[in-house]
Structure 1
Amino acid sequence: MKKLSLLLLAAVFSLSIYSCRETTEEKTEDAMEDAADDMEDAADDVADDLDAAAENVETEVEEEVNGTDDVNGDDDM
């Protein structure tokens, strides 16, 4: 009877530990979500940089067309 009780106790203990741990699938899903968030943030940063560069180019072109660009290449900033 003592052996049966110890075996049952060990089985319950093993099941409780197994059921409480995070599975590999859950860890993978979390890592994929984190990577997707990082990629989205990086894409937003690139879009912001491209918008700023486009505005810079637009300003330079307007200055060239309107003749307000400095002749020696120095900008009035």
Structure 2
Amino acid sequence: MNKLLVALGLAATVALVGCNKDKAPETGATTGEHLENAANQAGHDISNTTAEAANDTATAVDHAAESTTKMADEAAVRAEDAAHDAKEAAKRATAATAGAVEQGATDVKERAQQ
């Protein structure tokens, strides 16, 4: 974008100096040639800037896709870990309940024998 502004500024400066068709002694080019060169350079600069922006956008999209995939994988691993933890907690709760039932049955049996 800066290159475009510089090129447009150069074109405006040349236009302000005047549009004579005589050869300028310092460069040997006419004002028209300077304007044409500035316009060509601006076109190239716009093309380059557009290509750079497209590359930057593609790179950003690639990084976003990679990050999304990575986060999805991490979420799946965490969900699997949570499911495993829940299963283990259920086993412990079942064992504790069974132990309490057994203890209760033992207590009832002992009281019945007394």
Fold in common (TM above 0.5): yes
Query: Given the alignment, which residue of 51, 69, 74 partners 1:26?
Result: 74
Identity, % of aligned pairs? 15
Q: 2: CA distance between counterparts of 1:58 and 1:18?
A: 61
The residue type equivalent to 2:49 in the other structure is K
1:53 Cα shift?
Answer: 0.8
Answer 1 or 2: which has greater helix percent: 2
Query: Given the alignment, which residue of 91, 94, 104 partners 1:46?
Result: 94
Can you give the 5+ residue segments of structure 1 that lack an aligned partner in the other structure?
A: 67-77
The residue type equivalent to 1:13 in the other structure is A
Aligned positions, number: 65
The residue type equivalent to 2:50 in the other structure is K
Q: 1: CA distance between counterparts of 2:87 and 2:60?
A: 41
Greater relative contact order (CA < 8 Å, ≥ 6 in sequence): 2
Q: 2: CA distance between counterparts of 1:2 and 1:32?
A: 46
CA deviation string 1:8-55 (max 9, x = no partner)? 1111211221222213x4332221111111111111111111111101
